């Protein structure tokens, strides 16, 4: 009798634990529209819920970009979708026929951004049926000034494409681009947003005549003023002209530990007689992610040609163990198999001091092309990723042409 009671208690505990850890209801598959709300500002985002077996998979959708968050922690009706490369998570709570919850960073869990989401909504800002044809069309290139909080000006180029009121585009600066923006235009108002698990961003503009735009660009907590003029010839500066060697230098010398703590320099036997591509980057940097997504598979296809890629990683903490943990997830997502060295804390001034041959470090990433003899041949500042379309294709063509030239040299 006593044994039977213990069996009943054990089975009851198992049932209780199962009910606490398993989701009480299945989130509906399909497309969802979420809206972050804070300080009277709203930033919408779109995502899709699918299932891999019994596990939900969340895919963020921005224009043509789909960013998959396939890791999930389930506790009852609460699901946590971490995005390790952004050091962030989206906590989702099932609530009747909607979802609610918040976004937060793993390193700053007290700062939360609340959202609510509804199923079967694919629009971004306005229901398409409410949008009538507009005399205003943002399609094309725009010369832009971004006014920072300290009143300094960041020159930029915005490029938009309008397809029946659905607008996609990006903003290019000397350091790279602001990735995939998507939105709509209605009654002279142009709004685009972006969210892939990192910080959410909003471009909130108003036409002032057909060839002028003004408004703001940024996130919930910080924004910059935006002033744009239509210009079909607008173009970012030559990315190969911004960073260069100081007078008297021909080479780039450094010694940093790899992720195992072993010192590495370009004078090591592994790199002698080879073409070297050195990228100054960090796992926290979205444009660095785009570059790594390109360099990862590129290196696998080209490493037998006598080419080495070396990443100098400047991270948010001056701590090797922290860099190791960040690159564990980063390398897996972006297929990084080339050498990674830990260069210290992410700071442009500090990076320039550690690489004294450079006039300065303008941007993460900055990519240095070095020939077989060890001489620096070209330096590329920033990275125009897939969101920039033709600029990305042009970069890849120039990149491969330059490497082919360096490999072919005696």
Q: What is the mean pLDDT, run by run of 10 residues, along the chain of 410 residues?
A: 44 41 70 93 96 94 94 92 93 91 86 94 91 88 96 96 93 95 95 96 96 95 95 95 97 97 97 98 96 98 98 96 93 96 96 97 97 98 96 97 96
**Identical fold, 19-119 and 255-408:** no
For residue 329 the two structure tokens come to 């997830």
Tokens at residue 165, please? 């009121």
Q: Three-state DSSP class for 135? A: coil
- Range 111-117 contact pairs with CB under 8 angstroms and sequence separation of 24 or more: 113/36, 113/38, 113/200, 113/220, 114/36, 114/37, 114/38, 115/34, 115/35, 115/36, 115/37, 115/45, 116/34, 116/35, 116/37, 117/32, 117/33, 117/34, 117/35, 117/47, 117/92
Q: Which of 399, 409, 393, 404 has its CA nearest to residue 378?
A: 399
- What is the spatial distance between Cα 360 and Cα 57, in angstroms, rounded to a whole number? 42
So what's the pLDDT on residue 284? 94
CA distance 371 to 307: 10
Q: Helices (H), strands (E): how many in the chain?
A: 5, 25
pLDDT tens readout for residues 241-284: 999 999 999 999 999 999 999 999 999 999 999 999 999 999 99
What is the CB neighbour count within 10 angstroms for residue 97? 9
Residue 172, strand partner residues: 157, 177
Would you state the CATH architecture of domain 19-119?
A: Beta Barrel (2.40)
Distance CA 168, CA 389 (A): 11
CATH superfamily of domain region 255-408: Glutaredoxin (3.40.30.10)
Q: Domain 128-230 carries which CATH code?
A: 2.40.128.120
Structure tokens that stand for 259 in this block:
């992720």
- CA Rg value for the chain: 24
Look at residues 353, 343, 341, 345 and name the one whose alpha carbon lies nearest to residue 308: 341
275-281 and 307-315 beta bridge pairing? parallel
pLDDT at 1: 43
Structure tokens at 184: 């709509």
The candidate with the shortest Cα–Cα distance to 220, out of 106, 127, 104, is 104
Domain extent listing, the chain: 19-119, 128-230, 255-408
Distance of CA 315 to the CA centre of its chain: 15
pLDDT in the model for residue 96: 78
Tokens found for residue 359: 């006039």
pLDDT at position 4: 44
Query: Is pTM, for the whole model, over 0.85?
Result: yes
pLDDT value for 38: 87
Separation CA 252–CA 374 (nearest Å): 8
Spatial separation of the C-alpha atoms in residues 275 and 369, rounded to whole Å: 8
Closest CA to 275 of 312, 302, 295: 302
How would you write 239-277 as a 3-class SS string? CCCCCCECCCCCCCCCEEEECCCCEEECCCHHHCCCEEE
- Residues 6 or more apart whose Cβ sits within 8 Å of residue 37: 114, 115, 116
């Amino acid at each position: 009798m006593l044994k039977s009671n213990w069996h009943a208690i054990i089975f009851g505990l198992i049932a209780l634990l199962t009910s606490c850890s398993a989701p009480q209801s299945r989130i509906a598959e399909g497309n969802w529209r979420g809206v972050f709300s804070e300080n009277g500002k709203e930033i919408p985002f779109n995502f899709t819920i699918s299932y891999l077996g019994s596990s939900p998979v969340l895919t963020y959708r921005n224009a043509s970009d789909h960013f998959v968050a396939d890791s999930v922690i389930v506790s009852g009706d609460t699901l946590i979708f971490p995005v390790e490369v952004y050091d962030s998570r989206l906590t989702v709570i099932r609530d009747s026929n909607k979802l609610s919850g918040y976004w937060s960073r793993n390193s700053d869990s007290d700062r939360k951004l609340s959202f609510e989401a509804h199923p079967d909504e694919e629009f971004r800002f306005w229901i398409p049926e409410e949008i009538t044809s507009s005399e205003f069309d943002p399609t094309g290139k725009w010369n832009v000034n971004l006014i920072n909080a300290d009143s300094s000006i960041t020159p930029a180029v915005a490029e938009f494409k309008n397809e029946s009121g659905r607008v996609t585009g990006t903003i290019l600066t000397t350091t790279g681009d602001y990735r995939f923006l998507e939105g709509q235009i209605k009654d002279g108002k142009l709004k685009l947003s972006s969210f892939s698990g990192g910080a959410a961003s909003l471009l909130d503009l108003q036409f002032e005549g057909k060839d002028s735009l003004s408004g703001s660009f940024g996130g919930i907590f910080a924004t910059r003023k935006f002033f744009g003029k239509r210009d079909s010839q607008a173009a970012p500066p030559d990315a190969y002209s911004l960073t260069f060697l100081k007078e008297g230098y021909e080479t780039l010398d450094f010694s940093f530990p790899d992720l195992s703590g072993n010192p590495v320099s370009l004078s090591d036997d592994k790199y002698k007689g080879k073409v070297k591509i050195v990228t100054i980057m960090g796992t926290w940097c979205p444009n660095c992610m785009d570059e790594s997504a390109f360099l990862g598979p590129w290196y696998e296809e080209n490493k037998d040609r006598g080419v080495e890629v070396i990443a100098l990683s400047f991270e948010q903490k001056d701590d090797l163990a922290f860099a190791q943990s960040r690159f564990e997830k980063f390398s897996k997502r972006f297929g990084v198999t080339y050498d990674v060295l830990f260069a210290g804390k992410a700071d442009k001034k500090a990076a320039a001091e550690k690489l004294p041959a450079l006039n300065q470090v303008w941007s993460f990433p900055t990519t240095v092309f070095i020939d077989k003899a060890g001489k620096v041949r070209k330096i590329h500042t920033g990275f125009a990723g897939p969101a920039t379309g033709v600029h990305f294709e042009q970069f890849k063509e120039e990149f491969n042409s330059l490497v082919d030239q360096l490999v072919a040299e005696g």
